[in-house]
Structure 1
Amino acid sequence: MSDNFSDDNIINDNVSRTWIKIEFSLFLIGQIVSIPCYIFVLYHFLAHKITRRALHNHVIIILLIYNFIDLTVDLSLTMTYSLFDIVSPFSPIVCLLWQFIDYGIWYGTISLMFWASIERHILVFHSNIIRTKQRRIILHYIPLLFFSLYTPILYFYLIFLYPCDHVFLSTHVRCGSLCYFYSAPVWFIYYDTLAHYTIPILLITLFSSILILRFIKQKSRLKQAIKWRQCRKMIIQLSLVSISYLVFDLPYIIIIIVQSSGYPNFGSEIITPYISHLVYVPPIVVPYATLLSLPRLKYKLRSLLIWKRNRRIIAPITVVQ
């Protein structure tokens, strides 16, 4: 995440340890219940050829993988630090890995959501322009690769290869600020915050809202022109996943925008202890938002439960005569 979150380094004295323990417990419960959901949803996408090859599922699959990394590594290290005020385990490798995931992978999820909110317009309303293999490469696979790898590659360079002296502090979240911050030009710091986080979140809100409005307005035409169920599924899938980001990221962005507009103290008492940690909620919610959009969900869950129940059946006893 942007170093706007570096205020986490100083715990507000007004925040009680009780709240920190409650927050830790809630995130821990969220992790425990989300991991099985990730496994189930990813298995559904990857194990079935038709589902795996569907264009609208590609961005969701990568998004799930990135969010799973955030959930298991970034959130674990962040909440452990919040509870104990120390990075544990502490080592240069852990610090570099945490910084890379917290910036490169986390920003990658935002970039993927931004691309998904644009691509859905193409898949739903202009699907004819990607019918050929060449057009799919240009309009689907190349943008998907770009938005998937842009921030991971950028921050891999900035964190692991950029020529600067690393100073790791066990008493600071993410082991302190990234070393390139001390020598990077000011314009890049602004670009980092605006291009990788603030503007994409606002555009996701805009494009997702327009998509829903277009869908409602052209519903009758879509029923005649394309497969209605597939179209509706794509809209529901994007809407549920987008909402999980917008609900928990917009409060932070609104406070930052107001502060940057000449009100530096706006929300300062709540942003560090409460609002800034809301951005860790989407990795917990995203698999369930995706799960709700799966076709024939009840059938799949019923099959899974029946399979587990059948495994517990004890073999009949053979009576020896």
Structure 2
Amino acid sequence: MNFNRTNNGTIRPPPSNRNRSNESDFRPGRDNDTNFERDPIDQSPEVILYLLTTLVIPSIICFIFLFYNFIHLPHLRSKSTSLFIISLLIINFIHILTDLPFRLYYLSQNQVPFLYPIFCLIWTWYDNILTAINLFIMAFTSIDRYIFIFHHVFHRRYKRLLYRIPMVICFLFATIWYTVLIFGYPCQNSFIYFSFQCGTLCYLKNSQVLTHFENAIFFMFPLSIIVIGNIILIIHVFIQKRQMKCRHQLGLWRQNFRMISQLMFIAILYMSICVPSCILLIMGSYARNNRFQSWAANVRIRYFTHLKYLVVFGYPFMVLVGQKELLQMIKRCFYSFGRQLWRTRWKNQIIPMTIVPPMKHGSTLM
């Protein structure tokens, strides 16, 4: 997905005297193979590196905790509303394992870890696919939650189709698109190893149509569904509350509200990063003021290219907030640990004592 790039590309276009590499030549170190000149616009600040390294450990712990409980508690994963949630959990965890180590290396060393064009292509390929699938599944999750709450009979009847068809569309569409364009588009890539993911791919430089189509379909379209779908869901739920009068109906409304609360936390997490990134993408691609356009592209490249990991890191915690049973389990563990710690501390506490010598026979205190 074109989440990481603007119409201007990840870096400024190289001058005409820079050498360009042939996509079919996968050997590093040759004069016509790559460009080793550093572009300051593509360097992210160190605070991004510190932020990602600080958040990755708590996030992985939360991922493992959720996976363990979803595996050992079948009733949690058997819920029809949990299918898309678990799918997003798996996609985000795979993204951390396969992309984050290379990203952290680049942020610390200011160059890609392996100076091979084939590595640059594969890294860009699966990063874009995972990011696109992530947004598409989140968009389908918003639609699925609306159907489940307000068209429950239809959802129960076609539950498997409502899950399988969107998943097939997400995986096939993104995989075919990026496989064909990254490995099959007839152009020559210029690999710049000091730029993130070796710079912008040639099909994005050569075709404005493909660039705009990719931005619209793989980023703006699913993001619009997430924003509009969740707004409609909230409005519809509160309209439903006004129409309900008896206690039984209000109980049903509270149940529906609890069901959308988890989705709201996740949607807000996605929108907090993706919406500003989308605004900067539009400004950097279509603004008439060149100075303003350059600023928007610079901010998006240096910050939001990597800040998308705040969504990945925060996602398991948003899922955990919506799992009441797991939250109670954590509370019991903390309560038991606190009691055990207090008992141990009480036993080991030293209480000063005043020793009174024994009194002799016949003696008195006065």
For 1:240 and 1:89, how far apart are their aligned partners in 2? 38
**One of 212, 219, 224 as aligned partner of 2:234:** 212
1:142 aligned partner: 165
- C-alpha distance 11-42 of structure 1, shift in aligned 2 (>3 A): farther
What percentage of aligned pairs have identical amino acids?
Answer: 28
| Count of residues paired in the alignment | 305
Q: Which moved more, 1:57-66 or 1:185-194?
A: 185-194
| C-alpha distance after superposition, 1:241-290 (max 9, x if no partner) | 11111111211211222341434433435333334432222111111111
Do the aligned partners of 2:138 and 2:226 also contact (CA within 8 Å) in 1? yes
**One of 263, 266, 269 as aligned partner of 1:241:** 266
Amino acid at match of 1:292: V
For 1:50 and 1:149, how far apart are their aligned partners in 2? 30
Mapping 1:224-263, distance limit 5 Å: 224=249, 231-259=256-284, 260-263=286-289
1:24 aligned partner: 49
**One of 317, 324, 336 as aligned partner of 1:288:** 317
Do the aligned partners of 2:241 and 2:250 also contact (CA within 8 Å) in 1? no
For 2:259 and 2:175, how far apart are their aligned partners in 1? 26
CA deviation after TM superposition for structure 1 residue 306, in Å: 8.5
1:38 aligned partner: 63
Do the aligned partners of 1:104 and 1:155 also contact (CA within 8 Å) in 2? yes
Q: Which moved more, 1:101-110 or 1:210-219?
A: 210-219
**What TM-score do you get using the length of structure 2 for normalisation?**
0.72
For 1:48 and 1:231, how far apart are their aligned partners in 2? 23
CA deviation after TM superposition for structure 1 residue 205, in Å: 1.0
CA deviation after TM superposition for structure 1 residue 46, in Å: 3.5
CA deviation after TM superposition for structure 1 residue 76, in Å: 3.0
2:174 aligned partner: 151
- C-alpha distance 302-148 of structure 1, shift in aligned 2 (>3 A): farther
Do the aligned partners of 2:137 and 2:166 also contact (CA within 8 Å) in 1? no
Amino acid at match of 2:178: Y
Do the aligned partners of 2:191 and 2:199 also contact (CA within 8 Å) in 1? yes
Mapping 1:168-317, distance limit 5 Å: 168-181=191-204, 185-219=207-241, 224=249, 231-259=256-284, 260-266=286-292, 267-268=295-296, 270-302=299-331
1:313 aligned partner: none
| C-alpha distance after superposition, 1:111-130 (max 9, x if no partner) | 11111111111011111112
Amino acid at match of 2:156: R
2:124 aligned partner: 99
1:52 aligned partner: 77
Please identify the structure whose Cα radius of gyration is greater: 2
- C-alpha distance 228-41 of structure 1, shift in aligned 2 (>3 A): farther
Comparing both structures, which one devotes a greater share of its residues to helix?
A: 1
For 2:249 and 2:90, how far apart are their aligned partners in 1? 35
- C-alpha distance 299-93 of structure 1, shift in aligned 2 (>3 A): farther
| C-alpha distance after superposition, 1:179-221 (max 9, x if no partner) | 54466x5422211111100232133111111111211221366
CA deviation after TM superposition for structure 1 residue 6, in Å: 1.2
- C-alpha distance 201-179 of structure 1, shift in aligned 2 (>3 A): same
Amino acid at match of 2:261: I
**Partner secondary structure for residue 262 of structure 1:** coil
Q: CA RMSD in A?
A: 3.3
**One of 81, 90, 97 as aligned partner of 1:72:** 97
For 1:308 and 1:94, how far apart are their aligned partners in 2? 47
Amino acid at match of 1:255: L
Amino acid at match of 1:271: R
CA deviation after TM superposition for structure 1 residue 160, in Å: 4.7
1:12 aligned partner: 41
Amino acid at match of 2:173: Y
**What TM-score do you get using the length of structure 1 for normalisation?**
0.81
Amino acid at match of 2:328: Y
**Partner secondary structure for residue 55 of structure 1:** coil
